[in-house]
């Protein structure tokens, strides 16, 4: 088991880190790109994991020279995701860390997903009630790679950022953690790297 005894709190990203749902999100983005005539690039979409949907639309508009309404695109993507026959499973490596440290240090989830979706996924797996804090795209004005998500989670847990450790699966998430003054461990294709 990874030794986190030098930290006072743990923050997990959700999609791709604690819950194996990135594939379904990418599939929903593919449907959305097709509907709004964006070129679909699987690697690019994956690199935006953890970035709130509205911000992803702004980035895609800029990259591809489009001017689609972020609210319309975000709604379409949400509905596409919900229409997929997908029940995300937990990622064993990070679940083991969660279970090992729960009860001994506060644990939060900091996600780019909206609150309704995050609560549904976490509740489905019995994790929501075990969290000290949940920060979603609905709770911040700047999503990842800005550190606000993780800083807000640290604040809600009452722990200084430098005493928090983050688990993430994207470079955008890692940048958010590091820029927030936190240590970060990475998850690569459902495997914890340390």
Active-site residue 13, yes or no? yes
List helix spans (H) across the chain: 22-36, 42-47, 53-64, 70-83, 92-101, 115-124, 148-157, 171-179
The whole-model pTM stands at 0.83
5: tokens are 């005894």
Q: What is the pLDDT of residues 79-109, one digit of tens each?
A: 998 888 777 889 999 999 999 999 999 999 9
25 near 49, Cβ under 8 Å? yes
19 by Cβ neighbours in 10 Å (0-12 / 13-18 / 19+) ranks as buried
**d(C-alpha 92, C-alpha 109), whole Å:** 16
- Domains assigned to the chain: 9-21+88-193 (3.40.50.1000), 22-83 (1.10.150)
Q: What is the pLDDT of residues 104-157, one digit of tens each?
A: 999 999 999 889 889 989 998 999 999 999 999 999 999 999 999 999 999 999
Catalytic residue among 13, 15, 20, 139: 13
- Distance separating the N- and C-terminal Cα atoms of the chain: 10
């Amino acid at each position: 088991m990874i030794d986190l005894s030098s930290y006072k709190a743990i923050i997990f990203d959700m999609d791709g880190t604690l819950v194996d749902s990135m594939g379904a999100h990418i599939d929903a983005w593919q449907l959305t790109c097709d509907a709004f005539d964006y070129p679909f690039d699987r690697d690019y979409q994956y690199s935006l994991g953890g970035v709130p949907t509205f911000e992803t639309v702004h980035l895609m508009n800029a990259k591809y020279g489009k001017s689609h309404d972020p609210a319309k695109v975000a709604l379409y993507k949400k509905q596409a995701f919900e229409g997929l026959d997908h029940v995300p499973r937990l990622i064993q490596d990070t679940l083991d860390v969660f279970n090992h440290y729960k009860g001994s240090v506060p644990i939060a989830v900091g996600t780019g997903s909206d609150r309704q979706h995050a609560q549904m996924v976490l509740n489905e797996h019995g994790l929501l009630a075990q969290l000290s804090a949940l920060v979603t795209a609905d709770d911040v004005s700047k999503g990842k790679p800005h550190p606000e998500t993780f800083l807000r989670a640290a604040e809600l847990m009452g722990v200084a950022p430098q005493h928090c450790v983050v688990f993430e699966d994207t470079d955008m998430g890692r940048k958010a953690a590091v820029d927030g003054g936190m240590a970060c461990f990475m998850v690569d294709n459902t495997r914890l790297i340390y």
